[in-house]
Amino acid sequence: MAKDDKKDGWKEFFWNPRTREFCGRTASSWGLILLFYLAFYIFLAGLFTLTMYAMLQTLDDHKPTYQDRLSTPGMMIRPKGEQLEIDYTIDFTETWERYVGALNNFLSPYNDSVQAQKNYECKPDQYFIQEDSGSLKNFPKRSCQFNRSILEDCSGITDRYYGYNDGKPCIFIKLNRVIHLLPSADKNPPFVTCAAKKYKVGKDEWADDSHKIGQLMYFPPNGTFNLMYYPYYGKKSQVNYSQPLVAIKFLNITMNEDVNVECKINANNIAVGSERDKFAGRISFKLRINSRF
């Protein structure tokens, strides 16, 4: 009997034929509550749309409203390898062909013919400032040519294997883009230096691979980033911007051993290894060239 009463109670809750209520509410009550939620969510959607619209009005497509306080650009190498390790065997072409292929793809936008079509011959050794004239926006801004031919022995033009086939590989360094960065406070261009990286071998003992790294050559000469490639105005403002590169050629690195290398940028307007990011303005990688398995 109790079970039947309980069952009837549930039935009456879902639909009460006497009061014509569904789940405890009449049709008019359900209509009012649905109308309330409909109006409520329309209001929320309108408020969200209005807020987004107001925020987007403060943004400029060509100039960031805010920038990170860390103005030191990061560095990256090409080819990257796995976990910034470049490891290959000279006598087995399949171990270094992937690096050569990656460099061919990476440098193709820097072909002299491509640069001549898209970019301008700028006056070297000075900033290429392109300011707006009042309300008249100077868009799109021009970009300076960076021709791969200036990389000489590492251009892939005279040596299509970039030195990988004879144990004298080229590694390319580029700086990450930072809008409006002026890397030098004077006319001295920023330049890259590479050396053996120190690593810990004991509790208070450090070592490096300076006896293994051998002689280095830099392209362009002295590993400089010419000032004419700065400042950078952003992807939408400089659609054809070509990041300058520095190539490092390892001439007589020790074979069959790991060599830890660290490259860093040197410029009086760029701090290296800040408290916020000890890797800012520098990059470390491992290079191993095997003459045999």
Residue 107: give its domain's CATH number. 2.60.40.1660
Size of the chain, expressed as the number of residues it contains? 293
Residue 53 — pLDDT band, cuts 50, 70, 90?
Answer: very high
For residue 227, being part of any structural domain is answered with yes
Q: Which of 18-27, 59-68, 233-242 has the highest mean pLDDT?
A: 233-242
Sequence-ordered strand ranges (E) for 20-139 = 21-22, 75-78, 85-89
For residue 99, being part of any structural domain is answered with yes
pLDDT score of 31: 87
**Burial of 114 per CB tally in 10 Å (0-12, 13-18, 19+):** middle
**Calpha distance 250→292 (Å, rounded):** 18
For residue 29, being part of any structural domain is answered with no
For residue 41, being part of any structural domain is answered with no
**Calpha distance 251→288 (Å, rounded):** 13
For residue 276, being part of any structural domain is answered with yes
Give the contacts of 149 (CB within 8 A, at least 6 positions apart).
Answer: 112, 155, 157
For residue 224, being part of any structural domain is answered with yes
Task: Report which DSSP code applies to 252.
Answer: S
- Mean pLDDT, range 96-121, rounded to an integer: 96
Answer whether residue 263 shows pLDDT above 80.
yes
Please give the span between the terminal C-alpha atoms of the chain, in angstroms, as a whole number: 88
Among 67-76, 80-89, 248-257, whose mean pLDDT is lowest?
Answer: 67-76
Give the contacts of 53 (CB within 8 A, at least 6 positions apart).
Answer: none
User: What percent of the chain shows pLDDT beyond 90?
Assistant: 60
For residue 112, being part of any structural domain is answered with yes
pTM (2 decimals)? 0.79
Longest dimension (CA), the chain: 100
Q: Residue 113 — φ and ψ, nearest 5°? A: -65, -40
Give the contacts of 176 (CB within 8 A, at least 6 positions apart).
Answer: 73, 74, 75, 76
pLDDT score of 25: 74
**Burial of 164 per CB tally in 10 Å (0-12, 13-18, 19+):** buried
Cα atoms in the Cβ-side hemisphere of radius 13 Å centred on 24? 3
Give the contacts of 260 (CB within 8 A, at least 6 positions apart).
Answer: 196, 197, 199, 208, 209, 284, 285, 286
Q: State how many domains the chain has.
A: 1
For residue 39, being part of any structural domain is answered with no
**Calpha distance 104→161 (Å, rounded):** 9
Answer whether residue 211 shows pLDDT above 80.
yes
For 256, the domain range is 75-290
- Mean pLDDT, range 58-86, rounded to an integer: 80
Comparison of pLDDT for 61 and 4, the residue scoring more: 61
